[in-house]
Structure formats: C-alpha cells, structure tokens
Amino acid sequence: MAEQGNVKQFHEFGLDDRLLKAIAKLKWARPTRIQEVAIPLALEGKDLLARANTGSGKTAVYAISIIQKILRDKKEDGNVLGVKALILVPTKELSQQASKNIKDLTSYCSRDVRVVDVAQNSLDVMRPLLLEKPDVLVGTPSRILGHLQALNLNLKESLNMLVFDEADLLFSYGYEKEIKTLTSYLPKIYQACLMSATLSEEVSELKKLVLHNPVIVKLDSTDASQNGGLNQYLIKCETDDKFLLIYALLKLKLVLGKTLIFVNGIDRCYRLKLFLEQFSIKSCVLNSELPHNSRCHIVEEFNKGIYDYIIAADESAERSKCIPSLIKQFLSSCRSATGQPKDKEFGVSRGIDFQDVENVVNFDFPKTVENYIHRVGRTARGFNTGNALSLVTSSDEKVITAVEERLSPNSVSSADEKLFTPFKFKMDEIEGFRYRSQDALRAVTKASIREARLKEIKTEILNSEKLKAFFEDNPRDLQLLRHDKVLHPTKIQPHLRHIPDYLVPETMKPSLNKSSERRKRSFVTFHKNRRSSNFKKQKVDPLRTFKASHNQKPNDNKKRRKKKR
C-alpha cells in the first residue's frame, strides 16, 4: 500500500479537462486506493478484476475510464455512433446509482457522452431512447437481454467495454442464464472489468466466461478505510434484550446521526418499527415488498435528513400469506402489467446510495461474512468515518469468528489487536428501562405486524401509477379498497414518549439535560410568538370578543345574590 503522501492526483492520470472539472465539482480531493491502482490499468485497455470494499470508490474506476475513452475516441473520429460501454448490475437501485454517478462525471461533456439507464422502465418506453444510440448503457442482465432479443440494441458493431458491477451478486441473483445468453450478442473483442467486494465461486465462473488474461487488483479489507474510518463495536446480549438495548441506545442519544438498522426478515422490520413508535422514535422501513419508486423515495427522504433511522431487511422474503385476496389480485395484475416477477432486483446492503451514514447497527447479525462486509460498507465510505455496532448472541459466535479471520490485519496478531471493540455499556444502568421496553413490546402483536404490512401495501396500491388504468376499468374494486376497514397497527402509549429523570443513568444526565433545555427553549419561544400573533388578530377582530347576554339584564345576578343573603 502506497503512503498517503505519494498518492497520485486525478490530473496525473492524463484525463480530459472536462472530466477533471466534473471531479472538482464533486469535491473529490484525491483518488482512493482502488482508484489510484485500477484507473491507469483500465485506461491502458487491460481486462480487470478488482476486489475492494463497498464504498471504496470502485464505481468511479470504471466510470472515469469509460468517459475518458469515449471522449478520446470522439476527438479522433466524431462520426462513430453506437453503444461503447455496457454496465451490468444486479439491482435497479445500483443501476440508478451507477447512471447518476456517470451523469455527474459528464456534467461538462453531456453532449459527447450520453448515458441511459434501462433498468427503470419497460422495453417499449426505452425503445425510442435506444434508437438514438447512446454511448453508455446501464441495466440488469435480464433487461439488457430483453432489449437485445427485441432488436432494440445491436452491440456487436460498437461495444468496446463491458463492466460487471457487484459481480458476486449477479449469479446469486439468478442471472447466470441471462449472462451466458447475453455473451452471444457481444463482439469477439472487448475490454471487460469485474468489480466486486468479495471473490466468490460465482466471480471465478464469471471471470472464465468474459475475462482474458486479466490484471487482478485485490485490496485487503483493512486497506479500504484510509483514515482509520470504520470503528466496529460489539454488544453481547440475550435475544430478548435486543429491543431493550436499541431503545436505550437511541433514547439516551448514545447513537447519534443518520443510522441504518439491519434486521433479518421483513416481519422483524415492522416489529422493530412499531416498537420504536411507542417511544415516538420515527423511522422508516426498507424491504423487498415495497415498489422500486417507493424505495427510492424513502432513500431520498433519508438523504435529505427527514428520517434519521432506516430499518432495512437484508433478505428477500415471500409476501405474507395473510394478505387478502383482493390485494393479491391487485398485486398480480400489477406484476402482469409490468411484465416482471416479484422484485428480485432488490438489495439493501448494496446498491442503494445512502449518503452521510454515520452508524450501521446490526440488530440481527448477518448470516455470512460477505453480508457483514456489505452492511458496514454503507458507512465510512471513501475518506469519511463511521461506526458499526452489532448486537450479538451466543448463536452468532461462528459468524463473528469467521468475520474476524477474514477482516483482521494480517500483520498484527489477534492477541495484540482485535477487529471488534466491546462497546462500553453497562446493562445494570438501563435495568429500569426494562419494564417500559416489555410494555411496548407487548403492544406489538402478530396481528399489529400483519396490519402494518397490509397498510403499507394498501397505500402503495392506491398510489400506484401503473394501476390507474386498472382502477379506471374496475372502479368498484377501488371503492372497496378505499372503504375497507381502517387499519390500526398499534396503539401508541403517550407516557412512554418521555424518560423520567430517575431512570436516566447519572453519567448521561448532563448531556440529556442540555438537549432537553434546548427543546424547552424552542418550544416556549414558538408558543410565545404564536400567542402574540393570535392576540394581535383578536384585537383586530372585535367579533371574537363579543358575548351574548341571552336577554338577561346585567344587574339581575347582583339582585339575586342580595335576596339569598
């Protein structure tokens, strides 16, 4: 690994001035380690197999190389038209992210380098754009293959570069057959790049299929964080204590900033969300049941700071068997209208552009080392810092050992330096929170989880643009859905919102008192301004102070009092 002082700058790669201006606009101060090593190799036209952690800058490696080559070729011969580069990704979210990154890098040369993301819309919608012969295509293998078979594309005449991003996921997401079929539509000679955070058997198989004498760039996981950016902590606990811990960590402000909370399973998503709602902790859910547009909207709100917590299910799951038949019918009609199966092109730990994530909390520890790598890769991206906190039980010991063996520095013995740092936390100090946690957890029943999932799906169906035509033809179905019973997932208990002083540990009282004082000041000033404005309005409007006498003389009450005496 090169020393930080010897790191190359972007202008040393011989890049086009327009590309350098875009990089400066994005405020990329210097290349990351993978960019420093891999960009020169890609610009030389060599096949590349690059392994580096999530967030280390792999997307910029192929994006900069593609744009530079297209600008150079068009400078030599501006009449060459057709798709020069094809980028294959496993999920719609990653397709959107990759195309956005390329568009950002082409902000000063968008006329010369045109990018199209084909993963977001149907074949008919994208056909006119493809007939204009864009320079770069981004999409999932199934969508690209669909366009090739529909003769919307011809790659044999113009393709120069093929990129597989998150290559280890492409086969595991069920794209093996599509990729093998797709290779028959490619020219005999092209440059190929495989980008992955792990080197699995699937990557080796893909390597044999598309690469020819590749240069392998393999960075250790410990090299990815150049500023010592990722701090990894563990809290060992019992399974039943996880809800108590997450409540205390969030309510006592021990976890601050934008946070991703990972769970294993969709039911766990809603269970945790409804649990946190009992304490007025706002969060949003991200899972494979939600449509693509809704997932993108949730991520945008998170990136804007509207939500501080996202609860993400890191496993695709079957839709609940308890969904009523009417909604099942609507869901099936939605799938048939789009020509797609249930959304398998979904990934939370990878492929979603979460911005400025400060913490990753593994509420449920991942089942594989690869999943752990990709989860914690959502924070400490590039040169930023971040924290990863895992709540672990005795059943997680095997995976934890495997993670430590994979990610611990080779040069340092495990006895001297450990990957995970025990989080300094005393369970005795939060024992008083237990009854409140149990009270809230009792309110989150199986029925409430079912209703929360059903309510979310029902909302998505009513707001779906693709089902508008269906509802216009079947207005009675829309009426039935709208007038269905109102769903109440859980009953919020107001007394759980605030923490009594006697429950707050002594060490935490100073910081919590400061934050509560700030909230009180803002609350008081807000209501003072509100009262003053209302008072002025009452002065201006005399009718509001008028009181009717009901045909009663003003002195009648006084006379009655005298008679009683």
The torsion region of residue 351 among left (phi > 0), alpha (psi -120 to 50) and beta comes to left
Strands 309-313 and 359-362: unpaired
Q: What is the mean pLDDT of the chain?
A: 80
Calpha distance 197→209 (Å, rounded): 19
Residue 483 in this model has a pLDDT that exceeds 70: no
* Fold exhibited by the domain 230-497: Rossmann fold (3.40.50)
The hierarchical CATH code for the domain 4-219 is 3.40.50.300
Contact predicate 47/215, CB 8 Å: yes
Strands 259-263 and 309-313: parallel
Rounded average pLDDT over 508-528: 59
DSSP helix/strand/coil, 194: strand
DSSP helix/strand/coil, 142: helix
Among residues 235, 313, 248, 312, which one has the least CA distance to residue 279?
Answer: 248
* Contact residues for 543 (Cβ-Cβ < 8 A; gap 6+): none
Contact predicate 350/196, CB 8 Å: no
Helix pair angle (242-251, 266-277), 10° resolution: 50
Q: How many CA atoms lie within 13 A of 262 on its CB side?
A: 29
Among residues 82, 434, 424, which one has the least CA distance to residue 248?
Answer: 434
More confident of the two residues 474 and 390: 390
For the ranges 384-393, 487-496, 529-538, which has the lowest average pLDDT? 529-538
The separation between the first and the last C-alpha atoms of the chain, rounded to the nearest angstrom, is: 101
Strands 215-218 and 230-236: unpaired
Calpha distance 468→245 (Å, rounded): 44
Q: Which pLDDT band, with edges at 50, 70 and 90, does 384 fall under?
A: confident
- Tokens representing residue 1 in the block: 């690994």
Rounded average pLDDT over 124-136: 91
What per-residue confidence (pLDDT) applies to 340?
37
- Quick check: do 4-219 and 230-497 share a fold? yes
The proportion of the chain whose per-residue pLDDT surpasses 90, expressed as a percent, equals 38
Residue 362 in this model has a pLDDT that exceeds 80: yes
Calpha distance 496→442 (Å, rounded): 13
Tell me: the pLDDT tens digits for 69-113? 999 999 888 777 889 999 999 888 889 889 999 999 999 998 899
Query: Helices then strands (H, E): number in the chain?
Result: 21, 14
What per-residue confidence (pLDDT) applies to 558?
54
What per-residue confidence (pLDDT) applies to 293?
74
Q: Which pLDDT band, with edges at 50, 70 and 90, does 562 fall under?
A: low
Rounded average pLDDT over 54-82: 88
- Tokens representing residue 420 in the block: 């995970």
Tell me: the pLDDT tens digits for 139-185? 999 999 999 999 999 999 899 999 999 888 887 777 888 999 999 99
Tell me: the pLDDT tens digits for 238-273? 998 999 999 999 998 899 899 999 999 889 999 999
The proportion of the chain whose per-residue pLDDT surpasses 70, expressed as a percent, equals 77
Among residues 265, 279, 276, which one has the least CA distance to residue 314?
Answer: 265
What per-residue confidence (pLDDT) applies to 420?
92
- Tokens representing residue 126 in the block: 């994208």
Residue 530 in this model has a pLDDT that exceeds 70: no
- Sheet containing 115-117: order of strands: 115-117, 136-139, 85-88, 161-165, 191-196, 48-51, 215-218
Helix pair angle (325-338, 475-482), 10° resolution: 130
- DSSP-assigned letter for residue 193: E
What's the predicted TM-score (pTM) here? 0.68
More confident of the two residues 34 and 553: 34
Domain chopping of the chain, boundaries = 4-219, 230-497
Where does 109-206 show beta strands of DSSP type E? 115-117, 136-139, 161-165, 191-196
What per-residue confidence (pLDDT) applies to 320?
38
What per-residue confidence (pLDDT) applies to 335?
43
What per-residue confidence (pLDDT) applies to 203?
81
Contact predicate 324/353, CB 8 Å: no
- DSSP-assigned letter for residue 112: T
Residue 391 in this model has a pLDDT that exceeds 90: yes
Contact predicate 322/279, CB 8 Å: no
Q: Which pLDDT band, with edges at 50, 70 and 90, does 218 fall under?
A: confident
Calpha distance 289→291 (Å, rounded): 7
- Tokens representing residue 240 in the block: 């039943």
For the ranges 89-98, 105-114, 422-431, 511-520, which has the lowest average pLDDT? 511-520
Tell me: the pLDDT tens digits for 438-453? 999 998 988 888 888 8
* Contact residues for 108 (Cβ-Cβ < 8 A; gap 6+): 18, 19, 21, 22
What per-residue confidence (pLDDT) applies to 552?
53
User: CA separation (Å) from 183 to 65, 144, 155, 165?
Assistant: 22, 11, 10, 16
Computed over its alpha carbons, how large is the radius of gyration of the chain?
Answer: 29
Tell me: the pLDDT tens digits for 310-349? 999 875 433 334 444 444 544 454 444 333 334 555 555 5
Tell me: the pLDDT tens digits for 175-214? 888 999 999 999 999 999 999 877 777 788 888 888 888 9
What per-residue confidence (pLDDT) applies to 488?
56
Among residues 42, 74, 259, which one has the least CA distance to residue 163?
Answer: 42
SS (H, E, C) 255-301: CCCCEEEEECCHHHHHHHHHHHHCCCCCCEEECCCCCHHHHHHHHHH
What per-residue confidence (pLDDT) applies to 550?
55
Neighbours of 216 (CB within 10 A): 13
